A and B are shown apart, each in its own frame.
Chain A
């Protein structure tokens, strides 16, 4: 079965466009023939491979992207040399350069950063049309940093800001910190240049280094969070399984009848303490942390402040009280069971604003994706 057409189109779209443009210009010769053969092979693979991962693996391992790009460069170079081979000299070079920038603006249409990306091109066109000679035009482009601006630095900075804002919205403090450092590095490097435009190569390396430093820290954060989530859930389910409501609760109810439901309840009552103990061992072995460390830990406090903790405060306190009893082959105190039953009866087990977004979150989301998207996803909140 061929690769999904939409996926194949999105992967091959740029290559098809590049090929078509050169064909329209009347390109020919050996390198253009290589482009044609490579394009045909890519189209064939889209039909022959079974899924996107196999398709992209084949495109890469058969070196088709690179063969196409190399042949494209060669064909373009030949075309440009042909166009520039006349006697027009600098005037023709200027004309062709302006033409290329105008063409680039056309191609940018539809790009979400169109306005920002076209600005330096327009500036260059303006300089080119101002009556200066070609070398003066080149010098101005160099001295005013316009060539470097063409690399799209302002879009890069905007993208980092958006990523940071998204991490703030998701309440991921380490990711926010990472993006702040990337931004600081960007601005520091930019401030060292005459036109406040970073060297994209140098910035790329510095950015990679910051990301490299944060990866283990972020992984640690995620593992700690997922371990305590399961530990808290083990105690919560264990205590509730002793409540009179347990046979009616979906955590234990079986479609096969009450016998199976009671079997499920018994499993939680008798096995959760042992499972919790084994989880606590993992927690200790990994991070030298115990149950008591959870609730003051930055991972928990962040999740709590972000309303990402499902349990109500009352339930959390009850879970903390129940924990000392949740040991293999033991049962909770009757008072704790009674309290769990009261919470269940009043449906106050869940934090009222759990997983609700604050006004601040809403503003961040709208700044990133717009009000329509907010209404589409969260309109009923």
Chain B
């Protein structure tokens, strides 16, 4: 083994060490080990180059890193019950073994991330009910306020109705067109509010949230 090859052996050894004893990078450790062993067991650099080429070691190494990171992301989003964000690691892990080149790998990951990002944006429209909570509270406060008879029309009916009219107008003229820029068939799906990723950000009891959802549908004309 000449000096240059020995220097490369040491370089690949240093790469291997980076992933040693780190459970997050189990696949990367193995693929780095394969590269290290390939160079350590080659008679010269040319043979190493041929091994890298014929066994596709560089691409396998890139795939291993993607596998490690996506496996960690999958576990992470499962724990957090982030169902939509979970789509990206699931789809990437599903496709990763079928790629043959580094460019294919990059394209596959980019395309899936882009596709899932749109799903995440569309899913986040569900949280509009949280943004509307203050208005829903105001509507309820005015509708139910105990006031003398002479004020009932203005306070209990006209004022909340004005808020509702504004809410419906804004929904139809602004919110829905924006949502449909992302998904032309988008419709508000109130049942998604109860899914953990949305429910957890609205810190009020279930019974009250049920009431707010009914109100929200009226406020937005859904």
Contacts and interface: CB of A to CB of B under 8 A. Distances in A.
Interface of A: 53-54, 57-58, 60-61, 63, 65-66, 69-70, 73-74, 77, 90, 133, 135-136, 138-139, 142-143, 199, 201-202, 205, 208-209, 212, 215-217, 219-220, 223, 226-227, 267, 270-271, 273-275, 277-279, 281-282, 285-287, 328-329
Nearest to A276: B145
A143 to B, nearest CB: 5
B72 interface: yes
21 contacts: A54-B178, A57-B181, A61-B118, A70-B111, A77-B102, A135-B10, A139-B7, A142-B11, A142-B14, A212-B80, A216-B203, A217-B203, A223-B204, A226-B134, A267-B154, A270-B151, A275-B142, A278-B140, A278-B146, A285-B205, A329-B146
A308 B149 CA distance: 37
Interface in B76-108: 76, 80, 82, 102-103, 106-107
Contact of A274 (B113, B114, B121, B146): B146
Contact of A60 (B4, B106, B117, B178): B117
A360 to B, nearest CB: 31
Contact of A271 (B73, B137, B147, B205): B147
A153 B50 CA distance: 36
A286 B134 contact: no
Given A286-B204, A329-B148, A275 B141 contact: yes
Interface of A is mostly: helix
Contacts of A73: 103, 106-107
A135 B111 contact: no
The winner among A57, A133, A209 for most chain B CB atoms within 10 A is: A57
B130 interface: yes
Nearest to B200: A216
B64 interface: no
A138 B12 CA distance: 9
A135 B4 contact: yes
Contacts of A223: 133, 203-204
B182 interface: yes
A63 B116 CA distance: 11
Nearest to B134: A226
Given A66-B110, A271-B145, A274-B147, A219 B103 contact: no
Interface of B: 4, 7-8, 10-11, 14-15, 18, 24, 69, 72-73, 76, 80, 82, 102-103, 106-107, 110-111, 113-115, 117-118, 121, 130, 133-134, 137, 140-142, 144-148, 151, 154-155, 178, 181-182, 200-205, 208
B53 to A, nearest CB: 14
Query: Which of B7, B142, B182 is packed against the most chain A CB atoms within 10 Å?
Result: B7
A205 B72 contact: yes
Contact of A286 (B7, B82, B201, B205): B205
A54 B179 CA distance: 9
A66 B146 contact: no
Given A216-B203, A267-B151, A270-B151, A57 B11 contact: no
A107 B115 CA distance: 30
Given A66-B110, A142-B14, A328-B147, A219 B7 contact: no
B145 A285 contact: no
A60 B147 CA distance: 51
Given A63-B115, A278-B144, 17 more contacts: A53-B178, A53-B181, A60-B121, A66-B111, A139-B7, A139-B11, A142-B14, A216-B200, A220-B203, A227-B137, A271-B155, A274-B145, A275-B155, A278-B142, A278-B146, A279-B141, A286-B203
A133 B111 contact: no
B133 A61 contact: no
A321 B145 CA distance: 22
B181 A58 contact: yes
B14 A143 contact: yes
A60 B72 contact: no
A142 B82 CA distance: 35
A322 to B, nearest CB: 18
Contact of A135 (B11, B18, B137, B155): B11
A61 B15 CA distance: 38
